[in-house]
Amino acid sequence: MKELLRERGFWAAALLCFSGMALGFPVYEICVPLSQGSFLKFYQTSLNSQTVLFLIPIAASLPAGAVYVRESSCGFLKLYISRISRMDYIKRKMLQTYAGGFLPLFLSGIFGLLICFLFLYPLELQGSVSWEAVRENLLLLLRISLTGGIAAELAGIFAAFFQNYYMAYGLPFVSYYLLIILKDRYLPKMYAMYPKEWIVCEQNWGTDGGGIWIFFLVFSLAVLLCHGLLLYYRLKEIN
């Protein structure tokens, strides 16, 4: 985790995510005094904005998406795996990559929620905070963050497969938008592979929407496994 937090790309991704949320914030709808719960409604609108949807694969790839390419190209990888086992290296890089996509989105989202509370809640008519609305917004943020983790793992997979920076950073974005185009233009009923649906969760995902969390679990395990197998294959090539 310390290694990830020292990455400039991690903080650049967090800043990019927060900027996207700020650009999607409906400033024009602010009219004092605000109705009860307005800060949560504004926050939800910000998270659901097209700007945030657009930036997810870009921000998620920045912290650790191409870490394998960087470490292998400079010769650091051979020294690194002489100090730890190959399996330890694989586990570290899998988790580092996933966390590199998840945490910038989650932390910037929490910071955005605090900003909304501090500046907008005092402008609302007197009343209590709806904890159910808070829960819904946190679950929305969690879905966005998990999508970021998956996008980061895709970057790691492309980095290990192609051993190229451009592929590591570019193909997750291309794949992400290919799914959006396929759903919007050709397969309107394919909501389970539509990135925006993973976030807004408007379709039928079973009782209480529990299916979306199973989907995230299975998808996350699949990309982690694929990334780990590719890293294992690449490390076998190192003498």
Predicted confidence (pLDDT) per residue in 112-153, tens digit: 999 999 988 888 887 777 889 999 999 999 999 999 999 999
Q: Which neighbouring-strand residues pair with 34?
A: 124
Long-range (24+ apart) CB contacts under 8 A made by 80-89 are 81/235, 81/238, 86/232, 86/235, 89/231, 89/235
pLDDT of residue 35: 84
Per-residue confidence (pLDDT) for residue 30, from 0 to 100: 83
Residue 239 pLDDT grade (very low, low, confident, very high; cuts 50, 70, 90): low
Could you give the count of Cα atoms lying within 13 Å of 14 in the half-sphere of its Cβ?
A: 18
The four Cα atoms 22, 15, 196, 223 give a dihedral, to 10 degrees, of -170
Q: By C-alpha distance, which of 210, 43, 197, 24 is closest to 130?
A: 43
Cβ–Cβ under 8 Å, residues 97 and 64: yes
Distance CA 164, CA 44 (A): 37
Q: What is the pTM of this model?
A: 0.92
Each residue's pLDDT tens digit, 54-112? 999 999 999 888 888 888 877 777 777 778 888 888 998 899 999 999 999 999 999 99
pLDDT at 214: 94
Task: Please state, in angstroms and rounded to a whole number, the distance separating the CA atoms of residues 225 and 220.
Answer: 9
Evaluate if residue 4 carries a pLDDT over 90: no
